[in-house]
Amino acid sequence: MTVELQEDNRGATIDAQFKALSDGTRRALLEYLVREGEQSVHALTAIAGVSQPMVSRHLGKLKRARLVTARRAGRETFYSARAKGLAPVVQWMAVYGALWSQRFTALEDMGA
């Protein structure tokens, strides 16, 4: 059996978000931005435990995944978490969470 998957912008966004969130450092940076608000790359480097170029690479992946935004101010770049950035992942998880919940309920009903 062959299943054709249709790739659209939404699917590409979700893929990029799952890839971005698969790294612990990126998740920590995103969580920090959610908690603390806008931060400079310099400030994020101080708390990240990795080099500034590595922090910049991680932030670039988060930005491409539409999870953060960036703004330049002089020589500094400031990053903020996007309020609705995780919406595609949350929606995807809600659909499949409901599907799996239904299947587990059906299995439980068979055993009863």
Using pLDDT thresholds of 50, 70 and 90, give the confidence band for residue 48. very high
90 located within any domain? yes
2 located within any domain? no
36 located within any domain? yes
Using pLDDT thresholds of 50, 70 and 90, give the confidence band for residue 112. low
- Please determine, for residue 88, whether its predicted confidence score (pLDDT) is greater than 50: yes
- Please determine, for residue 101, whether its predicted confidence score (pLDDT) is greater than 80: no
Sign of CA dihedral 39, 86, 55, 25: positive
- Please determine, for residue 6, whether its predicted confidence score (pLDDT) is greater than 50: no
Residue 71's CATH number:
1.10.10.10
Q: What is the DSSP string of 10-55?
A: HHHHHHHHHHHHTSHHHHHHHHHHHHH--EEHHHHHHHHSS-HHHH
Q: What is the DSSP string of 46-108?
A: HHHSS-HHHHHHHHHHHHHTTSEEEEEETTEEEEEE-TTTTHHHHHHHHHHHHHHHHHHHHHH
24 located within any domain? yes
1 located within any domain? no
Number of domains forming the structure of the chain = 1
* Percentage with pLDDT > 70 across the chain: 90
State the average pLDDT for the chain.
87
Distance CA 101, CA 29 (A): 32
3-class DSSP state of 5: coil
Which domain covers residue 40, as residue numbers? 9-111
3 located within any domain? no
4 located within any domain? no
22 located within any domain? yes
